[in-house]
Structure 1
Amino acid sequence: MSVNNNEILNSEFSEPSIAEFYAGKNIFITGGTGFLGTVLIEALLSSTPKIGTIYLLIREKYGSDTNKRVERLLSKPIFNSHSAETLKKVVPVVGVMDAVNMGFDDETLNELREKVNIIFHVAATIKFNTHLRVAIQTNLTGTLRCIEFGKSLKKMDAFVHLSTAFCNSNYAGLLEEKVYAPAQDPYEMLKMAENDDAWANIKTRADWLHITKEHPNTYTFTKQLAENLVMKELAGFPAAIVRPSIVYGTYEHPVQGWVGNASSGHLGFFAGYYKGLFRTIYGNSQSKIDLIPVDYTINASIVLGWYVGTRKLELPEVIHSTSGDVNPLSLEEFTDILNERVRVNPSLKMVWVPHAKIRNGLRHTVFFYLFHIFPTMIWYWPEKLLGLGIRHHTSLEFMRMFNKGTKAFHFFLNKNFQYSTKNAMRIAPLMHPNDVDRYKFDASDLDWSELLERNFLGVRRYYFRERGNTSLKHVIVYALFQTLNFIGMAAMIWYSYKLFTGIESAFGLGLSSPVLISLGLLLGSFLIWL
């Protein structure tokens, strides 16, 4: 996708600002109740005050009132600054993502076709190892239905598809802002998803590896297919694809450190680490961990809607919402910052003192079961009986719940993916000067220590519901757990010595005290090193 080289110099900002572009326009959002979707809704309401109606696709659930679900969504703290009148702009529409005409009744469908101007397609199954058929139906068939709906609108000013930077992880080298050839034909996969017979012998991950080929999971596979669908179906339309990397909580807007339910992607590890549950990180210490604050991704999406809606493009625009190319952060640096900043704003209700190390292979596996699973199994019943769990979960339940999500990142944290941001950097200077600060999406000046510290405070306040600012009490609690940690290390060395003493006594090995002490120290040191 090329742009006239004189566009920046000659535009003189004659085109509308972002707020002016969105003024009076009606928006349709899929996935609006998720983490990204929630921040998107708030950003549209706050930064484009003259926006029209925001239609929110909601799947009907048995025994669940749709309006009540939207009320719960809008009652979240990030909407506190909005008046009741403003929140009335958010209107639920009941539908089914992968159904023909998205499952709308005729009246709803006709109203939406007449009124909707801009579509943000955010909905997707983000579980990395969802069954292949389910992933295709949600991420591919759902995208096709959304495209069909968009093309049927009376006037579509923009179509923004939220993808992922990981979708081309079956390719090596620098990944550019273009749509890559898919591992399979998307139209053949659409047909396959509708054919029951085709799935008779495809039930486990091993059964579909020959279909997904070099992709590490069904998520990246189907998101790559969906991008190809967008590129082919929306050629000549005002369409865009935004690819975020590992999405963390907000950096600035609407509040610092908003993390939602802290279960999206790598935020699950972050929340578990904050409580001292997760103490090991799998990966290559020198690999880049490509983080991006959620508000930067949402800003990029809103800017792209404005960009494609104010000029004629032959093909959908593609940008990466990533940081590795402009502000690289290694996994080792990330781990060091975690361990440093958690001391500044610790939790009052930690399970153990938070401290993580990078481990690989057998070392990681042994540590995980010995120092994660085993202690939480011992603590399970006392915690359950005394009601000391984390957000209605015991530590063991919490660990199992989030470990599935974080384990899926092992592939990405052990490689060094590179993402070009040339398109994103080309578009940024085209914004009106008044829009630059509010819609910042360039990660080059991000302070990683500041981001993680803000997210620690966000996890503490919004997810674990711990109120109040960091106080002397927090410092004392952290110091207490540090002391307990050192006592625990000393205890490991002592019990290691006693273990060898017991073995020597039971079997009469005739070992001298210095040898026993050395063996005990060796085993204890090994456990501490582990």
Structure 2
Amino acid sequence: MEDTSVIAEFYKDRHVLITGATGFMGKVLVEKLLRCCPDLSTISVLVRPKKGKKSNERIQDIVSCPVFDKLRDQPDGEKLLKKINCIAGDITQPNLNLSNDDEKTLQDSVDIIFHMAANVRFDQSLKTAVLFNTGGTKNLLDVACTFKKLTAFIHVSTSYCHCNEVRLEEKLYKAPHEPRKILDMVSWMDETMLESLTPKLLKSSPNTYAYTKCLTEQLVSEYASRLPLVIARPSIVTAAWKEPMPGWVDNLNGPTGMLVGAGKGVIRSMHCDHTLEANIEPVDCATNALIAIGWKVVTSPATRDVRVYHVTANNDNTISWGSALDIGRKHFYDNPFSVCLWYPRGGFKSNYFYHMLAVFFLHVIPAYLVDFLMVMTGNKPFLVRTQKRIHGGLEVFQYYTTRPWYFCNDNFTKLWNEMTKRDREIFYTNRNKIDYNQYLLDYVLGARRYCVREDPETLPYARKLLKRLYYLDILKNILLALFVLWMFSSYATMFLNRIEAPFSFSNYTMSYKSVP
């Protein structure tokens, strides 16, 4: 019995619907379900056409990515991949824009829904965020109400959706505004008016993503009498710990963007309290948690309450931002990028004034200097524009790194304790101890390989480049120091001359009057 997975057995013959399957977490969830719950019936994935590609073409691209290599290597891998059923649809449209046949299939057979589709950009306009994140969820909830066999609707939120709460419990919180009224408002109000209203609406929310996730949770709770609902709140989702391969990551959101920017020498200062805990959750741990939550919700006594689970770092298995930086920097020097703007130096500044001073000297001035050289050599300037975009991203992310956060996760701890030893091995979360030194090494190598598309064979060249950049950085520091000394000397001389001038004139006058 110890060799049997209770969770895998639970998913046998079940039909799962996943939205957001083309996203970072979505890919890992689909792969894990197929590989570790091979007896499930079907995984329907709702995919909209995008950039000239049809829904089924997008799914083929996803299945061809490295995430599914481990599954393809299994003897029955290709057979399992055929369990993916692509449903052409769009959550932003009424009735999800489903065909009649697809709608009937889903109504008659879907057991569990994992709703992961969301626009995760922090800088999106209020209208876009509300219509996609809140409006899209409403459309899915309305359709789900017609599903005959539905046993669980798992809404994936974020642990940072109630930013006015330093200590967040596993319960529902009231949104600052009625979600349906906000949906109605953005449907008719023009962008200019919405833009002026956005700061007043957001208040304690740092961005439109957090605000709409907050609204959406309340909207979800309104369907509690009609649907078996659960809300999962992952914290900052980062590169894979173990599966599908250590360090796998396919986007530059959040910490990954900061990591790559720092490694390329573009980001040299960040406002952060290095003593605070970085509540990061590897993507494989997060998706394993979702699968376990699905099992727990269905096998527990029915309730009309919306259950909430915090998919966050275990309180005794965290790492501070400062420690993460120190470990990551060491691994970056050993495994640098082969394309860098400058030598990766710098770090966190807990004082905002010192941070902005560093930004001026290490971000702004070099950007204008590089763009000036680009123009002089007949090339197109790019760095000032890039730095402005990076600065905007830093301003958003720094909100989360300068405040303490505490997430109660008693519900998920209880779930973990109820899992069998075998299920804890298969559907592990970071309740297991993570070796952060090894994890961050894999993270650096994964970002290098999967985000920046640099093969391991380029490492010898990258190390030589890093050495040259190191000496150039020293030369730059010497020249900058000499320039500062020259400026100081020049201003000091001018200042002394201005002080001495009146006395010299007075002495000259006195000498003149003393002549007989």
Q: Which TM bucket (shorter chain)?
A: 0.7 to 0.9
Looking at structure 1, the residues matched to 207 and 192 of structure 2 have their Cα atoms a distance apart, in angstroms, of 19
Q: For structure 1, which segment, 212-221 or 299-308, has the greater mean C-alpha deviation from structure 2 after superposition?
A: 212-221
Hey, what does 2:312 align to over in structure 1? 322
Whether the 8 Å CA contact 2:127–2:191 is kept in 1: the answer is no
Measured after TM superposition, the shift of residue 128 of structure 1 is: 2.1
In 1, Cα distance between equivalents of 2:268 and 2:476: 15
Letter in 2 for 1:432: T
- Label 1:424 to 1:147 Cα distance change in 2 as closer, same or farther (>3 A): same
Letter of the structure 2 residue corresponding to residue 134 of structure 1: T
Normalised by the size of structure 2, how large is the TM-score? 0.86
**SS of residue matched to 2:143:** helix
Partner residue in 1 for 2:408 = 420
TM, length-normalised to structure 1:
0.84
Measured on the aligned residues, the alpha-carbon RMSD in Å equals: 3.1
How far is the alpha carbon of 1:399 from its aligned partner?
4.5
Match of 2:165 among 150, 165, 171: 171
Look up the SS of the partner of 1:156 in the other structure.
coil
Match of 1:481 among 469, 480, 491: 469
Structure 1 Cα separation of the partners of residues 221 and 465 of structure 2: 54
Contact 1:170–1:216 (Cα < 8 Å) also in 2: no
The 5 Å alignment of 1:459-470 reads: 459-468=447-456
Q: How does 1:212-251 map to 2 (within 5 A)?
A: 212-235=202-225, 237-251=227-241
Percent same amino acid at aligned positions? 28
State the partner residue of 1:525. Answer: none
Q: CA deviation at 1:37?
A: 1.2
Q: Which amino acid aligns with 2:114?
A: F
The answer to whether the Cα contact below 8 Å between 2:280 and 2:313 also exists between their aligned partners in 1 is: yes
1:29 is paired with a residue whose SS is strand
Kindly provide the CA deviation profile for residues 418-471 of structure 1, in whole angstroms up to 9, marking residues without a partner as x.
Answer: 111111110002123211112112346222222221110001111112112686
Distance (Å, rounded) in 2 between the aligned partners of 1:31 and 1:351: 34
Q: Distance in 2 between matches of 1:508 and 1:214?
A: 52
TM-superposed deviation, 1:243: 0.9
Structure 1, 42-51 or 353-362: larger mean CA deviation: 353-362
Instruction: Output one character per residue of 1:59-105: Cα deviation in whole Å (capped at 9) or x when no partner.
Output: 22363232222222222111123244333322322212122211112
Are residue 271 (structure 1) and residue 260 (structure 2) matched?
yes
**Runs of 5+ unmatched residues, structure 1:** 1-11, 512-530
- Give the secondary-structure state (helix, strand or coil) at the position aligned to 2:131: helix
Per the alignment, residue 184 of structure 2 pairs with 191
**Structure 1 range deviating more: 352-361 or 246-255:** 352-361
Task: Return closer, same or farther for 1:368/1:427 CA change in 2, 3 Å cut-off.
Answer: same
Inter-partner Cα distance in structure 1 for 2:50 and 2:301: 40
Q: Equivalent residue of 2:165, what SS?
A: coil
Question: Is 1:347 paired with 2:340?
Answer: no
Counterparts in 2 of 1:48-127, with a 5 A limit?
48-61=37-50, 63-81=52-70, 82=72, 83-127=77-121
Letter in 1 for 2:139: R
How far, CA to CA, are the matches of 2:37 and 2:375 in structure 1?
47
Which residue of 2 is the match for residue 335 of structure 1? 325
Q: 1:401 to 1:500 in 2, by over 3 A?
A: closer
For the residue of structure 1 that corresponds to 2:302, the secondary structure is: coil
Per-residue deviation, 1:215: 2.0
Out of 480, 484, 493, the residue aligned to residue 496 of structure 1 is 484
Paired residue total: 492
**Separation in 2 of the partners of 1:47 and 1:276?**
40
Distance 1:170 1:61 in 2: 36
Checking the alignment, whether the CA contact within 8 Å between 1:324 and 1:419 is kept in structure 2 is no
Secondary structure class of the residue paired with 1:56 = strand
Letter in 1 for 2:34: L
3-state SS, counterpart of residue 342 of structure 1: helix
Describe the SS at the equivalent of 1:453.
Answer: helix
| Corresponding position of 1:286 | 275
Distance 1:183 1:273 in 2: 36
Q: Would you say 1:25 and 2:18 are equivalent positions?
A: no
> Using a 3 Å threshold, how does the CA distance of structure 1 residues 20 and 32 change in structure 2: closer, same or farther?
same
User: 2:513 corresponds to which residue?
Assistant: none
In structure 1, what residue type is equivalent to 2:467?
A
Cα distance in 2, alignment partners of residues 388 and 50 from structure 1: 57
1:286-321, Cα deviation, whole Å (9 max, x unpaired): 322211111111111111111112222312321112
Residue 367 (str. 1) matches residue 355 (str. 2): no
Task: Find the residue that maps to 2:139 and give its secondary structure.
Answer: helix
Q: 1:30 to 1:398 in 2, by over 3 A?
A: farther
Structure 1: how far apart are the matches of 2:233 and 2:376?
A: 45
The gaps in structure 2 that reach 5 residues or longer are 500-516
Pair 1:253 & 2:243 matched? yes
Q: Which stretch shifts more, 420-429 or 236-245?
A: 236-245
CA-CA distance at 1:358 after TM superposition: 1.5
State the Cα deviation string for residues 320-375 of structure 1 (Å, max 9, x = none). Answer: 12126332333222322222332232223322222332224233223224322432
Output the CA distance in 1 between the equivalents of 2:245 and 2:3: 32
**Structure 1 residues 440 and 336: CA distance shift in structure 2, 3 A:** same
Question: Using the alignment, how far apart are the partners of 2:228 and 2:171 within structure 1?
Answer: 16
**CA–CA distance in structure 1, aligned partners of residues 151 and 377 of structure 2:** 56
- Return structure 1 stretches of 4+ with deviation > 6 angstroms: 12-16, 381-389, 504-508
* 1:309 correspondence with 2:298: yes
Contact 2:5 2:423 in 1 (8 A): no
Farther off after superposition, 286-295 or 364-373: 364-373
Question: 1:358 aligns to what SS in structure 2?
Answer: strand
Q: What letter matches 1:356 in structure 2?
A: G
Greater Rg by CA:
2
* Cα separation, 1, equivalents of 2:406 and 2:377: 48
Shift of 1:236: 7.0
Q: Distance in 1 between matches of 2:435 and 2:3?
A: 34
